[in-house]
Amino acid sequence: MTKAEGTATPPPPIVPWMEFQNQEMWEKALHLGRKVLWKGKTCIQRPGDDVTGIFLIREGVIKVSATSAEGVQRTLWFMGPGSILGEAALFAGQRNTHHIDAVEDCVAYEFSRSNVVDRLLVDHPDLGEALLTNLATKSYIMSTQVEESTFLSAHRRICRFLYGLCLSRNSPQISLSHSVIAELLGLHRVTVSNAIGDLKRRGLLEERGHDLVVADIGAIASLINSDI
DNA sequence: GCATTAATTCTGT
DNA sequence: ACAGAATTAATGC
């Protein structure tokens, strides 16, 4: 608790969107990796694929999702620059279990298992810590989603998501469609459309082109803890 | 390069 | 489930 007590600023909501700005620490290790490019809207990995290393995402955004046998998709989280893909499977000795798609053109660096274990972790404790931070973030995203989906109303979850995304991305602009948000939160698309329409009517949200812009972040924040 | 059409996606009821 | 608006892709000139 670094801040004063009186005005207890609640911790920012955990949202299923990973992104880390301090990427400088990775510069010293990039030579150990292999640069890879992923074209937008293409598949990166499917369930069952062998995991031979980890990927540091430097540019672009990818989507991690689970798919039922019938083909229904449930997005688990998005990953942006500074986040690491594949470390959970690598350390658990598991094959990949999710669908991973590039939603836009991406630049990443792949580090082999041996380079991670013998070089990164040994020579660069800060990178080891970054790996743990990445892993812990995924863990919190999943537990928070379970928690919110069982205890919170759809309306509140949408407000939490919009608010948390603004804070973590440090931008009021949200360029996600209603159906993408619905898949991410496990809600019906129409539920998301109605809730967002409601927030727009109240002036808390605005539409800029095809994007949403949070106009009154304070009001959205207050809605997180009070329904309707 | 530009204009039309066809297809697909997005939103609000 | 459906309709209108808005994008995007494809085609022809």
Q: What is the pLDDT of residue A2?
A: 52
Return the pLDDT at A190.
Answer: 93
Reported confidence tier of residue A11, pLDDT bands at 50, 70, 90: confident
Output the six-digit token pair for A105: 């053109």
Ranges of CATH 2.60.120.10 domains, chain A: 12-147
Could you check: is the Cβ of residue A190 within 7 Å of any atom of nucleic acid strand C? yes
Per-residue pLDDT tens digits for A44-54: 999 999 999 99
Percent of chain A with pLDDT over 70: 96
Top-tier CATH class for A152-223: mainly alpha
Residues 1-40 of A with CB under 7 A from strand B: none
Q: Which has the closest alpha carbon to A180: A60, A83, A35, A76?
A: A76
With CA of A209 and C1' of each nucleotide, the nearest comes out as C6
Crossing angle of helices A154-169/A125-151, nearest 10°? 160
Please report the pLDDT score of residue A99 as a whole number: 93
Q: Residues of CATH 1.10.10.10 domain(s) within chain A?
A: 152-223
CATH no. of A12-147 = 2.60.120.10
- Residues sharing a CB contact under 8 Å with residue A199, sequence separation 6 or more, in sequence order: A159, A162, A205, A220
Nucleotides of B under 7 A from a protein CB: 9-13
Indicate if CB(A198) is under 7 A from strand B: no
Confidence of residue A187 (pLDDT cuts 50, 70, 90): very high
Residue A68 has pLDDT above 90, yes or no: no
Confidence of residue A112 (pLDDT cuts 50, 70, 90): very high
Are A17 and A46 within 8 A, CB to CB? Answer: no
Q: What is the pLDDT of residue A122?
A: 97
Q: How high is the pLDDT of residue A209?
A: 78
Q: Would you state the structure tokens that stand for residue A8, as one six-digit string?
A: 């207890």
